[in-house]
Structure 1
Amino acid sequence: MDEPSPAGTESTEPSLSVAAPPPKSFARRHWLALPLLVLLGLPLLGLTAWTAIALNWSYSTGKRAGYVQKFSRKGFVCKTWEGTLYTDIAKGFRSDSFSFTVRDDSVAHVLESLSGRKVAVEYEQHLYVPTSCFGETEYFVTGVQEIPE
C-alpha cells in the first residue's frame, strides 16, 4: 500500500496536467493588420504633414490693389471663396488679373460687400498645396481695405 508522504515532501509520481503553449507575440496575432496599417497609415501621415506645412508656411506675402470683378463660393464638396482682382493702368484699361482664394469667412464677406470698388488685398502665397480642396489658387487673401478714389 501507498503511504501518504509526510508534509513538506513532494510526490515522485508524474503529473497529468499539460503545459499551456507560450502566448503568441503581438506581430503574430496581428499579422494582417500591421502591414495594412503601414501601407495605409504612413502615406496618410505623410500627406497630413505635407498639407500642414504647405498651409502654414508662406512662400511670400504682398499687397495688390485693383477692382474685385468676380467673387464667388465654389466647389461640390469643399466650398472655397474664389475671386479675381483686375488692376487698371488708366481709367477703363485692364492690365492684369489676379486670381485669389479666401479662407476666412469674415474677410470673404468684406470682399463681397466691396465688389466693384477699388480695394487693396493683403495675401500670402502658399506653394505646393496638395489638393484644390483648400483653394484653387496658391494666393490666399488675409486682409482687405477699401481705397478711396
Structure 2
Amino acid sequence: MLKTRAFWIVLALLVGLPLLYFWAALSWSYSEGERAGWVQKFSKKGWICKTWEGELALVSMPGAAPEKFEFSVHDEAVAARITEAMGRRVALHYEQKKGLPGSCFGDTRYFITDVKVADQIPLAPGVAVPQPAPQPAPVPASAP
C-alpha cells in the first residue's frame, strides 16, 4: 500500500512539475515593449508545431541600413491583422519570454500580442508623408 502511494505521488510530481514550469514560463514576461517598422517576412512554419514567424525591418533614419527584428505570433487574430498590414508601417507590441525549451513555442522568444498601423511616416521632425489608404478588393461581377 505504501509503495503504491509513493508511486502515485512520484508520478504526479513528474507530470505536475513540468506542467507548472511551462505555465509559469508562458504566463510570465521577461520584458515587453514595442518595435516599429515594416513587416517584410511573415509565414506559418513548423513540422509539427506550426507557429507564425516574421521579420520586421526597423529603420531609425531614412537611408540607414535596416535592422531586423524577428518575432513569433501565437494568436491567429493577431496574425491576420499583421497579414493585412503588410507593406505599411506598423508598431508591434511584444512580450519576451525566457526559459521556453525547443522551437515548438516559436522560433524566437519575442511574441507579438498587438499590432498598430501607423497613419504617417515621419521623415524628419515636423515632416510626415501620409501613407495611402488600403484599396478595397474588387467585387467580382455575378454571372447573369
Aligned to 1:27: 2
Query: Who wins on radius of gyration, i.e. which is larger?
Result: 1
1:60 aligns with 2:35: no
Residue 84 of structure 1 is aligned with which of 39, 55, 62? 55
% of aligned pairs identical?
43
The aligned residue for residue 98 of structure 1 is 69
Decide whether the 8 Å contact of 1:123 with 1:142 is kept in 2: yes
1:66-112 CA distance string (max 9 Å, x none)? 00001000111111011010111344543311011111100000101
Structure 1 segments, 4+ long, off by >4 Å, are none
Q: CA RMSD in A?
A: 2.1
* TM-fit CA distance, 1:115: 1.4
Aligned to 2:100: 129
Displacement, 1:27? 3.2
Native 8 Å contact 1:67 1:115 kept in 2: yes
Whole-angstrom CA distance in 2 between matches of 1:43 and 1:108: 35
Matched AA of 2:97: H
Matched to 1:120, the amino acid is A
**Unpaired segments ≥5 residues, structure 2:** 122-144
Match of 2:42 among 61, 71, 74: 71
User: Contact 1:86/1:94 (CA < 8 Å) preserved in 2?
Assistant: no
Report the TM-score, using the length of structure 2 for normalisation.
Answer: 0.74
- SS of equivalent residue, structure 2 residue 60: strand
- Stretches of structure 1 lacking an aligned partner (at least 5 in a row): 1-25
